[in-house]
Amino acid sequence: MNKILIALTILGLCAAANFKCTAEMKTAKACTMEYMPVCGVKMAEKGSSKYSSIKATYGNKCSACATEGVEFYAVGSCDEYPKNATFCHPEAHLNLACTRELFPTCGLYDNSITCDKGLCGSNFSNKCMACTNEHVSYFMAGYCKNQK
Ligand SMILES: *[C@@H]1O[C@H](CO)[C@@H](O)[C@H](O)[C@H]1NC(C)=O
Ligand SMILES: *[C@@H]1O[C@H](CO)[C@@H](O)[C@H](O)[C@H]1NC(C)=O
């Protein structure tokens, strides 16, 4: 367990479930300057509402959610995640209709699942299937390589 925490700290990688911006957060008139960075995600204008890679770091969740178009956020700055990470919408797991097309995807788990070392993930047939797993926080194209 200690090893896991140390490894995550050294790599600066932190996995956490994603959080939806509430209506209240979206209409916040003012945010504090407190620095508790989050990776805010905007959904693509077209296409899926289940996941997106349009992301930017904000000083805190209030300023992320008060930004037009930001629908949800992951804890920590976007730099703490792989560059090509695409984040699952917090409600994507409610979606039960995925095609079975094979587009190998590596889904990375949030911190509800820990592994012996490194990032913790599983192979999925496609992105829709990855995000349907409620513990998957983000994914990358291709099969998992260094993930356990
Ligand atoms: C995912 O699939 C690849 C290729 O088949 C394999 O090398 C890897 O061990 C698998 N990873 C996991 C976490 O299942
Ligand atoms: C995503 O980025 C990681 C490292 O940041 C790299 O190992 C992996 O090959 C990349 N995957 C794709 C599909 O570009």
* Mean per-residue pLDDT pooled into runs of 10, the chain (148 residues): 43 65 94 96 81 96 96 95 94 86 95 80 95 94 79
Are the C-beta atoms of residues 118 and 146 closer than 8 Å to each other? Answer: yes
Report the pLDDT value the prediction gives residue 10, as an integer from 0 to 100.
Answer: 38
The reply to whether ligand 2 has any atom less than 6 angstroms from the CB of 59 is no
By most ligand atoms within 8 Å of CB, the mutation choice from 11, 78, 84, 144 for ligand 2 is 84
Which DSSP category does 115 fall into? -
Domain tally, the chain:
1
**pLDDT on residue 127:** 93
Residue 147 lies in a domain: no
Task: List CB contacts of 50: < 8 A, sequence separation 6 or more.
Answer: 88, 89, 92, 95, 127, 128, 131
List ligand 1's pocket residues with C-beta within 6 A: 121-123, 143-144, 147
Does some domain include residue 148?
no
The answer to whether residue 7 is domain-embedded is: no
Read off the pTM: 0.83
- Considering the domain boundaries, does residue 41 fall inside one? yes
| Tokens of residue 133, six digits | 């797993």
Other beta carbons within 10 Å of 117: 13
What pLDDT score was predicted for residue 133? 92
